[in-house]
């Protein structure tokens, strides 16, 4: 059944479905869970010569406002119009703008790097590949996105868009090559598996940096058949 991601995420936003008291974008956007990213991201951008960045989804800009983006042209994009409107009113600045778009459907602005944090793990497998296709259609050189690097716990469950699963992009069905580098997030969150696994800290939660050409190469290989998936 075809779904509308805009409606899914608008509903989550309106019902405060991410549960955080600090950020409408959820616990993953709280400062205690992003301190290491705030500290390490500027150096990674400099290391790879990034001068422009598309942050999709940008959410409520709760943590990114604390990142040193000196010399970086920043575009924040989100599927939820309320967030974009609020960010435009509050956080627009020289070399910083916000746009409303659906990264599963809309053309994406060109930038050296696309940051897609805490997003793909809310997508069905088919929608992850749709996002890959949108990313690959740009002139971006890099994709920086969330990945959980452990293989010893359940990963990449088949979900409906709007739910969530710990995602390891090096494992099936995604099978990306190893990333160029990783930023270990140092998240204070945990995954509640229940049963014998119980509650597991998110100590393997990272931002992985891939060359966009490696994403394009994955799309050139045979893709899974999602015709019967939700």
Q: Is the pLDDT of residue 2 over 50?
A: no
Q: 77-113, pLDDT tens digit by residue? A: 999 999 999 999 999 999 999 999 999 999 999 999 9
Token code pair at residue 15: 């019902």
> Is the full-model pTM beyond 0.85?
yes
Under the banding of pLDDT at 50, 70 and 90, the label for residue 7 is confident
Q: 66-82, pLDDT tens digit by residue? A: 999 999 999 999 999 99
Is 26:18 a contact under the CB 8 Å cutoff? yes
Is 133:192 a contact under the CB 8 Å cutoff? no
Mean predicted lDDT score pLDDT of the chain: 92
The interaxial angle of helices 5-14 and 81-91, nearest 10 deg, is 70
From the candidate CATH numbers 3.40.630.10, 3.40.50.150, 3.40.50.720, 3.40.50.970, the one assigned to the domain spanning 5-220: 3.40.50.150
The predicted structure's pLDDT at residue 103: 93
Which whole number is the average pLDDT over 214-227? 93
Angle, CA of 117, 174 and 131, to the nearest 5°: 50
Q: Is the pLDDT of residue 165 over 80?
A: yes
């Amino acid at each position: 059944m075809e779904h509308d991601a805009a409606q899914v995420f608008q509903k989550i936003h309106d019902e405060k479905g991410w549960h955080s008291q600090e950020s409408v974008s959820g616990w993953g956007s709280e400062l205690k869970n992003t301190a290491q990213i705030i500290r390490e991201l500027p150096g990674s951008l400099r290391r790879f010569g990034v001068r422009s960045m598309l942050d999709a989804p940008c959410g409520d800009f709760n943590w990114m406002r604390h990142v040193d983006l000196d010399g970086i042209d920043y575009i924040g994009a989100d599927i939820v119009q309320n967030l974009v409107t609020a960010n435009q009113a509050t956080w627009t600045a020289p070399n910083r703008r916000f746009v409303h778009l659906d990264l599963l459907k809309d053309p994406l602005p060109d930038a050296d790097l696309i940051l897609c944090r805490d997003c793909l793990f809310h997508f069905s497998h088919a929608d992850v590949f749709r996002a890959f296709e949108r990313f690959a259609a740009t002139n971006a050189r890099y994709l920086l996105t969330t990945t959980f690097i452990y293989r010893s716990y359940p990963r990449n469950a088949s979900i409906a868009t709007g739910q969530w699963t710990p995602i390891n992009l090096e494992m099936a069905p995604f099978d990306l090559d190893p990333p160029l580098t990783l930023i270990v997030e140092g998240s204070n969150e945990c995954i509640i598996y229940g049963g014998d696994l119980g509650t597991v800290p998110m100590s393997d939660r990272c931002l992985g940096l891939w060359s966009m050409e490696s994403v394009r190469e994955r799309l050139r290989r045979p893709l899974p058949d999602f015709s019967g998936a939700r």
